[in-house]
Amino acid sequence: MNRVLPVLLLALVLIGAGCARRSAGPAELVPLAQDAGAYHGLADDARLMDEGRQAVAWEAFLQRLFDPWERAGAETPADDAFWGLKAFAGKRLFGENSLPGDPAWLDAMAVASRVDDYPSLNRRAIAVVDTSMRALPSIRPVFYDPALPGEGFPFDYMQNSLVLAGTPLLAVHESADKAWVLVESRFTYGWVPATDLAWVDDEFAHAYRSGLYAAVTRDRVPVVDEGGVFRFEASIGSLLPLAGEGSEGGWTVLVAARGADGEAVLRRARIPSDDAEIAPVPATAGNFARLADRMLGQPYGWGGLYRNRDCSATTMDLMAAFGIFLPRNSSQQAKVGWVVPLEGEDDTAKKARLLAEGVPFLTLVRKPGHIMLYIGRTSGPSGDEPVVLHTIWGLRTKVGDAVGRAVIGRTVITTLEPGADLETLDRPDGVLINAVRSFNTLP
């Protein structure tokens, strides 16, 4: 019996390993140099948008940014605002412990959401910290069956999007306990904790719309006000009103804080010169590559979980630094600008079209549910291959009838065929280029 036990234990370990979600090695899935400037073939100071075109984009971006403060009222239909109640109804939902949740939870969420009273607010607001928009007024996650490939952590279906500190909002509804507020931003809507926002009056709005802004050019920059109070960490995608440039070479910016009664108050803070520039950042190949390099390697963050990014957040935040507006959702991003449909094209034709017509750092490549940024080309066995930067969870694998994922789980630079040497890659469904349906170049 003693000799049988180790054999049984080894068998159990091997079975478990075969069923586990696999994280392939970096060289196996991501063999390219992780250098965003290595593929575009342009001079660093080459403009991808001329100054006039970028100025037009910047004005349009600012209009979108502050649009929530100009709205007459809620623009989100009730069916959309409370989509989670309908989407989760009748489904087997799992919690943070990977166990099925109590069906009564969704009934409690319906009560907390006060659907019949929507919209109950029409009030300008601003995010005072990075905060998460949720599908329902709760921090509790909702997962589908973790035993299924592509489900379970990190795919919390309650998570709509991260909202960066300083984002203008319109508050349109509040929960029954007043702990949560349903807000609209320039790019989406959702529930946020009431303590993560502050109420904006005319005086604050006028001061905050200074006309001159700092674009943060590095992630996780601590923002500490003049009183020594830590306010938040700013990241690429953050835009803060400029209040001046100090003698020590840093930027003085305005930040929103929450007053004693929930009102928005202005505080001054300093950001090092190396961590921000006057917005918009000039749209040169070198500047795009520099900021993109600073995003590489960041862990995948579904809907902005843990203040990380998913595919469309990466493209949206990068473009924001250059004053280019993108929607939040990948399918919406794929409709912006000049769209080239690729339905019916074979993989070779798709690549050739992208190489011929794509503009590095301004062309997005779409497959259903995923968006990538075209950044240039590299030499391959059969000629030049398009190179993309994207934030990806993983690649579909298949062994017999067992479907799984080879996890990449971060922002990377790849060709459109990452994992080409992976024996378990599900072919052709797991090959990115096979599912590419279009590319679009931003205006």
pLDDT tier, 380 (very low <50, low <70, confident <90, very high otherwise): confident
Same domain, 149 and 242: no
Burial class (CB in 10 A: 0-12, 13-18, 19+), 169: buried
Same domain, 303 and 437: yes
CATH of the domain at 319: 3.90.1720.10
Q: How many domains does the chain have?
A: 3
* Residue at which a domain ends, from 239, 261, 278: 278
Q: Is the pLDDT of residue 255 over 70?
A: yes
How far is it, in rounded angstroms, from Cα 218 to Cα 293?
10
Same domain, 410 and 382: yes
* Residue at which a domain ends, from 171, 200, 229: 200
Domain ranges, residue 213:
205-278
* pLDDT tens digits, 192-248: 999 999 999 999 999 999 899 999 999 999 999 999 999 999 999 999 999 976 556
Which pLDDT value is given to residue 5? 39
- Which region among 25-39, 83-97, 189-203, 410-424 has the lowest average model confidence (pLDDT)? 25-39
Same domain, 177 and 77: yes
* pLDDT tens digits, 85-102: 999 999 999 999 999 999
